[in-house]
Amino acid sequence: MSLQYSIVFSILIGELSIIALFLIPIPFIIKSSIELALIKTSRSSLVNRIAMAIFVLVFIFFLDSFHKMLKFHTAISELTSYAGPLQTDSSEFGSMNNRNMHRPQSHHHHHNSFQSSALYSTLFYAQRNVYLTGMVLVLFLKMQQLIKERMDNRQVISSTESTLAKYINEIAILGEENSKLCSQISLLKKDNEGLVLKIRSQSSEKNSEYKRLSDLLSNLDV
């Protein structure tokens, strides 16, 4: 494997590791801290530029590998189409002249077989490079999708928590106002009770005064 595809393979291993961190069931605290670190890293403009440059470079490798794969596939097809059948003498008692006559053709056949094997081997490596670079591109897009989903989920959770905290604060304020109103109502009840007692005492005093005056008036009449 050449240096460039060794680097591509290393990138593939890194992408698989990152996606595995999203998918493997690990403790929530560890997973949340890892996701938070990845989200903070993905928000960096420098990291985004480097990731985009790597994506473009791997995409160029993908196009190059795909072009080579098509070229070698076409070469194998042409070699298979234009290669003549191998002519050999099936008789064990054939003459030496016939053997000498077929020897160059056999050499040509072996040369074509070797060339075909080399082309098939090169085609295999080109196909491997296509699969390798294509998988890197697909996993890169999938990783970006997962990170975006986690960012959206965290934004929803953050907005929900802020809204919940706001409602809790409002409920606390309403509770304080309710307690103040309850204390005011209790004070008003006490004042009302005191006023009722005062009115009753005044009424009893007036009744007693009225009786006294009535008795005094009756005595004067007598």
Domain ranges (residues) in the chain:
3-83+114-221
Q: Which residue has the higher pLDDT, 110 or 156?
A: 156
Structure tokens at 201: 């005492």
Give the whole-angstrom CA distance, residue 8 versus residue 97.
Answer: 56
Tell me what the mean pLDDT of segment 72-94 comes to. Answer: 57
Q: What is the predicted pLDDT for the residue at 27? A: 77
- pLDDT band for 76, please (50, 70, 90 cuts): confident
pLDDT for the residue numbered 114: 58
Q: Token pair of 76, please?
A: 């194998």
- Using alpha carbons, select from 139, 160, 177, 175 the residue that is nearest to residue 10: 139
Q: How confident is the model at residue 90 (pLDDT cuts 50, 70, 90)?
A: very low
User: What's the whole-model pTM score?
Assistant: 0.55
**Model confidence pLDDT, tens digit, residues 12-52:** 888 888 888 777 777 777 777 777 777 777 777 787 888 88
- The percent of residues in the chain predicted with pLDDT above 90, rounded, is 2
Residue 189 structure tokens: 């009840």
Joined tokens for residue 185: 């109502």
Q: How sure is the predictor about 189, in pLDDT bands with cuts at 50, 70 and 90?
A: confident
> Which residue in 9, 19, 13, 48 sits closest to 145, CA to CA?
19
- The predicted structure's pLDDT at residue 5: 80
